[in-house]
Structure 1
């Protein structure tokens, strides 16, 4: 009764499931400042959507939920526009490079494997780092004489030239740092179909030294523009954007983002980082299991790059 045939993905899916999925991912987007693609893409693949279509199609949902979440954080004064603009500039360049790599890998028939391996490696690494930091911070606060620890250290990268002052974030760092971070995340957005927030938020907190809530709001600002560019490029270059699927995910995502932003504002920074790390690890575990599990169909016949 509620089944819908997706013309680009060439599969039938339940409308209510897609709306619910968009709502959940939108909620997480507003709460943690992540686009939610790291959760949406593996889930869509689980429901039978081809990886190439899943990567390209959920980008509009990320755009809508991130824009909704950004507005909620903007009203709470949690967006550094200067930092966001520089991150976005690097992200736009990175997304162009990423779409080109995506098309190349698809032509040689390796895009599904690359998507799975990249998800497993990045999610596992980022989730482990975030959980370790959050656990250390919680244990430290429970001691009789807790040590004061800085969220970020000064690395060699902090000695780069072209330093500018980010008054909102109270930072004085090289403009090259956010540019490089934005570039790297932009490439991943195009290849993995993610918003990039699960990488961008920790990088902004631990490498740049931004406050957690400000990093979340600014991350959503970056995600809005980079995913918009990625969606357009995928539609033009790869023709893998399924419009009906994108619309259903977007409806749920916009509603969920507003709810998530309100909940996130009530949690402590260390709690937000810990919950995000735990969720990232859970998704990484699911991706790894799918990669090593014996497939139901050991053999299949298909056209190279399809």
Structure 2
């Protein structure tokens, strides 16, 4: 089974490097398919995401693709929300069946939202960037900062419960809030925000006993070379074919988990 986990890590890492789609939306359903307990799958995937995306932050930071101001506003909402969600789970201490059912339904909803974000990303971009002059007349600040904070709160709760949302959903939200910022900079900014969020949430799940450390090491053994390979092949696979296929798969898995 160790070899299967390494192959799963390799496949997910390759797809993340190729498309930029968050690993949680792919890895967590795969772990459930392997028969891993839902709570353990989410907790392990959170630390897996924090470690793998940590390397991506260094690359984006060197390229100047991280907006530290946006990261601060997102984190001001997401990290406290993650801590409060974890505190609620610690206080509530639901039995295993209830916990798994909660995570299973939250995971299904997150997968459906992720699939919609992937499918309609191009259309949303076109819509938000349609009136460049009007946007330039109202620069970032004020209400937009508070909307960024609110986005962080939603991501904090969603990611803590499901390990999904920081990638596809978070990036699309930033596209809507900051349509004039280059795509590469928004992607780098969301990756930089995802690292502290997934780290805090992952450590919180570790405190709840939801981490399989042996499984985590096997996933990383495959994902790190997979991300490197996928990143070097980015742009060589038709995006118009790959993203709808991934979105359809996530939609089906999410619907099955919810219903």
TM beyond 0.5: yes
Do 1:98 and 1:188's aligned partners in 2 also have CA atoms closer than 8 Å? no
Question: Which of the pair is proportionally richer in strand?
Answer: 1
Q: Is the 8 A contact 2:110 2:165 kept in 1?
A: no
Match of 1:178 in 2: 148
* Partner residue, 2:32: 45
Could you say which residue in structure 1 is the equivalent of 2:84? 97
Q: CA–CA distance in 2 between the matches of 1:263 and 1:85?
A: 32
1:261 partnered with 2:238: no
Partner of 1:231: 202
Structure 1: distance between partners of 2:211 and 2:217: 11
TM-superposed deviation, 1:272:
5.5
Counterparts of 2:173 and 2:39, CA distance in 1:
27
Alignment deviations for residues 19-43 of structure 1 (CA, whole Å, 9 cap, x no partner): 1211222233334444411111111
1:107 pairs with 2:84: no
Q: List runs of 5+ in structure 1 lacking aligned partners.
A: 1-13, 138-147, 165-171, 293-306
Per-residue deviation at 1:285? 0.2
Q: TM-score, normalised by structure 1?
A: 0.70
* Matched ranges for 1:39-78 at <5 A: 39-78=26-65
Which whole-Å CA distance do the structure 1 matches of 2:159 and 2:257 have between them? 21
Q: CA deviation at 1:45?
A: 1.0
CA shift at 1:233, angstroms? Answer: 1.3
Q: CA deviation at 1:48?
A: 0.9
Secondary structure of 2:36 counterpart: coil
CA distance in 1, matches of 2:25, 2:222: 17
Change (3 A) 1:133 1:231: closer
What's 1:124 paired with?
A: 112
Matches of 1:201 and 1:226, distance apart in 2:
14
> Which of 192, 207, 221 in structure 2 is aligned with 1:221?
192
Q: Which runs of 4+ in 1 moved over 6 A?
A: none
Aligned-partner SS, 1:179 = helix
- 2:74 touches 2:193 (CA, 8 Å); kept in 1? yes
Q: Deviations over 1:56-95 (max 9, x none)?
A: 1121211121112223333433222221232123221121
Q: What are the ranges of 5 or more consecutive residues in structure 2 without an aligned counterpart?
A: none
**1:278 Cα offset (Å):** 4.2
Measured in 1, the distance between the counterparts of 2:23 and 2:245 equals 14
Give the equivalent residue in structure 2 for 1:151.
Answer: 128
Query: How much does 1:277 deviate?
Result: 5.5
Q: Would you say 1:200 and 2:177 are equivalent positions? A: no
Change (3 A) 1:31 1:204: farther
Q: Is the 8 A contact 1:73 1:261 kept in 2?
A: no
1:24 is aligned to 2:11:
yes
Would you say the 8 A contact 1:38–1:194 is kept in 2?
yes
How far has the Cα of 1:223 moved from its partner? 1.1
1:269-280 paired onto structure 2 within 5 Å: 275-276=242-243, 278-280=245-247
What is the RMSD computed on CA atoms of the aligned residues? 3.2
Instruction: Report the structure, 1 or 2, having the larger helix content.
Output: 2
Give how far 1:195 is off. Answer: 5.8
Pair 1:242–1:149, CA change in 2 (3 A) = closer
